[in-house]
A and B are shown apart, each in its own frame.
Chain A
Amino acid sequence: MQKIEKKKASPMEVMKKILGRQIFIPIAALLLLVLFNLIVDPSFFAVVMKTNSAGNPVLTGNLITILDNGSELAILAIGMTLVTAAAGGQDISVGAGIAISGSVMLRVLCGTNPKPEAIQAPIIVAFLVGCLAAMLCGAFNGALVAYFKIQPMVATLILYTAGRSIAAWVNHNQLPIVPPGSFSYFGGVIPGIPIPTPFFIAIGCMILIALVLKFTTLGLYTQSVGINESSSRLNGLNPILIKFLAFVILGICVAVAGLIKVSRFSTINYSVIAKDIEMDAILAVALGGNALSGGKFNIAASILGAYVIQFLTTTLYKFNVRSDALPAYKAVVVIVLVVASAPRVREYLNGLKKKMIQNPSRKEVG
């Protein structure tokens, strides 16, 4: 996504380059959290091998919890970054989308009986149907935003409010339970592999999106539509299609996250599954240093941002901070980010940078 030019530079210029890079923000946040935990209680980082009740070896520890539980968010952050970049707005219906696609998957797996003896369809079929449902939701949002030019937040508010009811309706209000078996591997561990599967799924998604961005023009087009829609159109791009596509890709991400979520407990609770995850996904994008008004983007930074959020959550659990106070900590992060990206502050910082370049001797002191 970003090319680093290798050339000799003075230490100050290197410093400037590091500070200027987008991924610096989530890395700095991560280092801050790591440092805090190292100082207060280094045992935070302990990872031990245990045997679970099924007799399989598993790694446990806070770091594993972060990789495990942050994965859905990381996957969502990929799609959310694209939507943000292309449409200059956010999709707030991803939590509801997870409920819908998860519910569809369970409906296919369980059939009409909420507690079947064996699964009624192959898992891959269930996933593909759930994927289709999530992509349809994405297409619905995308059509409203791209074609009807409705503000993304307003357009996705429709599914945000109605989505969970739709999810419940798909299963006639019942709570299907998938019989024990390989379906639980996606949100748990595969026997013999001690690392939680969600992490592997997230890695898979990351590799996939990296390949797509490398070998197609999607990234470039998305960026140019986000920066200036009319000049992109004059240059022969179709902004409507690009925006629409971004929402559909987010739909796929939602389906993958939905698969992990429903697999964790082999069931679904329509009102609480992936609750408020849209806010975390948006925060991950912001934490990645991406402009929430669209344009240039960095997916790797967003993914890192997602794991930082989970790192924060796990840290707070570790220190028994009340989890209803969690939003307050996140709010602090948002405030810092918003203030830092405000034009006034930017202007001031740029002025400061120029001053530093003019008399570099001051830099060493400051």
Chain B
Amino acid sequence: MKKRVLAVLMAATMLLGLTACGGDGSTPAGGDVQGADGGSSSGTIKVGIINNDPNESGYRTANDKDLQAMFTAENGYDATFAYGKTNDEQINAAQQMIQDGVDYLLLSAADVSGWDTVLQDANNQGIKVILYDRTIDADPSLYVASIVSDMAKEGETAANWLKDQGLSEYNIIHIQGQMGSAAQVGRSGALLDMAAAEGWNVLVSQTADWNAEKAQQIVQSQIDAGKSFNVIYAENDDMAKGAVAALDANGITHGVNGDVIIMGFDTNKWALEELKAGNWNYDGQCNPLQASYLNDVIQKLEKGETITEKTIVMDEKGFDAKTITDDDVNTYGI
């Protein structure tokens, strides 16, 4: 009994671990794209949208809101939404949608594998599958397009920004996200590569599991150890906030004109406001707003055009405290 309970527990924990800014870095190379045959030309387009749990993170909430706002009756869509924390739940939902005869199936998969059969069913019925946010391990011919974030590029943008600051020396505290997640791998890789190339001194690379409190403890322990540093590279906004709390508690200045440069990711609205106030220096975007891209792809297919590029990487910006405007905060804050 105890063992079984433990097994259930472990499974639950692993599921909860799949949080944070999604999107698997590896995208399959583009293959042949299926010709579009118009689909239902009679007014509304029927779409089935499968997403992850909207409570998972602020990123996911923004992602869901964006989709809800785009796929409305006013925009000519008849949309069904389904949320699943696990592949099983999502596959059940997908099968239901296929039975209902949707025209398009939009999918952000909980898990990368196990989708072949259900997507084959969809294809057999002439339903077009579009992946968003996260890719899957399946034959590229099973889907029409895949709209993703490039986490490594986000990291590079940030590392390049840091290089452009031209500091006389770089002593960096590097706070990582949950180890192995696509966001962590991409953002860590870019910084560590740049640090190696430029001879920057990374005092510590430590994971805080996206948790502000852990980030605070990590920075506090570095301060207590008497280390001096001038850059904090946190792989999401929450952890940057935790790091800043530790600096504040020790009376260390940060942000524009401060002693320590603060870098965060995910462009939460409150984070951009910190940036605007000059408390932080940089925030990198991880774009959750995929609805317009999805809309473009669907409209093109409806017009009978073909999609030439199977993997669509979204534009993602990096914001500097010195140049950010109120417009940016309102437009890009999630």
Contacts and interface: CB of A to CB of B under 8 A. Distances in A.
A314 interface: yes
A43 B26 CA distance: 45
20 contacts: A50-B250, A53-B252, A58-B250, A60-B220, A60-B223, A61-B224, A92-B9, A154-B5, A157-B8, A165-B53, A173-B54, A175-B270, A261-B213, A264-B245, A269-B211, A269-B212, A272-B210, A318-B221, A318-B225, A324-B209
Contacts of B204: 320
A52 B249 contact: yes
Given A60-B250, A61-B224, A164 B55 contact: yes
B4 to A, nearest CB: 9
A317 interface: yes
Closest 10 CB pairs of A and B: A168-B55, A317-B221, A53-B248, A272-B211, A153-B5, A51-B251, A271-B19, A324-B179, A173-B61, A52-B249
A160 B15 CA distance: 12
Contact of B57 (A264, A271, A323): A271
B51 to A, nearest CB: 13
Given A151-B1, A154-B5, A314 B221 contact: yes
Contacts of A46: 224
Contacts of A69: 213, 217
Nearest to A265: B212
A160 B13 CA distance: 10
Contact of A60 (B179, B217, B224): B224
Nearest to A115: B270
Interface string B213-245: 110111011011110000000000010011001
Chain A: number of interface residues, binned into ranges? 35 or more
Chain B contact residues: helix, strand, loop or mixed = helix
Central interface residue in A50, A189, A267, A324, by most chain B CB within 10 Å: A324
B224 A323 contact: no
Interface of A: 43, 46, 50-54, 58, 60-62, 65, 69, 92, 115, 151, 153-154, 157, 160-161, 164-165, 168-169, 173-175, 177, 188-189, 261, 264-265, 267, 269-272, 275-276, 313-314, 317-318, 320, 322-324
Nearest to B61: A173
Given A322-B206, A324-B179, A161 B224 contact: no
A175 B238 CA distance: 12
B217 A157 contact: no
A58 B252 CA distance: 13
Contacts of B248: 52-54
Contacts of B207: 322-324
Interface of B: 1-2, 5, 8-9, 12-13, 16, 19, 53-58, 61, 179, 204, 206-214, 216-218, 220-221, 223-226, 238, 241-242, 245, 247-253, 268, 270
Nearest to A184: B245
Given A53-B247, A65-B221, A269-B210, 6 more contacts: A60-B224, A61-B224, A157-B9, A264-B216, A265-B242, A272-B211
Given A53-B251, A318-B224, A313 B217 contact: yes
B168 to A, nearest CB: 25
Nearest to B55: A168
Contacts of B212: 264-265, 269, 272
A92 B16 CA distance: 14
B225 A270 contact: no
A265 B245 contact: yes
Nearest to A44: B224
B185 to A, nearest CB: 14
A188 B246 CA distance: 11
B55 to A, nearest CB: 4
Contact of B209 (A52, A157, A272, A313): A272
A49 to B, nearest CB: 11
Contact of A275 (B8, B211, B247): B211
Nearest to B225: A318
B134 to A, nearest CB: 17
A157 B217 CA distance: 29
A157 B4 CA distance: 12
A314 B217 contact: yes
Contacts of A265: 212-213, 241-242, 245
A317 B58 contact: no
Contact of B55 (A267, A270, A314, A320): A270
B221 A323 contact: no
Contacts of B5: 151, 153-154, 157
Contacts of A61: 224
A43 B224 CA distance: 9
Contacts of A324: 179, 207, 209
Nearest to A66: B217
A272 B223 contact: no
Contacts of B211: 269, 272, 275
Nearest to A58: B249
B250 A317 contact: no
B206 A317 contact: yes
B224 A175 contact: no
Contacts of A264: 212-213, 216, 245
A264 B216 CA distance: 10
Nearest to B179: A324
Central interface residue in B54, B208, B209, B224, by most chain A CB within 10 Å: B224
B206 A320 contact: yes
B64 to A, nearest CB: 8
Contacts of A115: 270
Given A265-B242, A314-B221, A323 B214 contact: yes
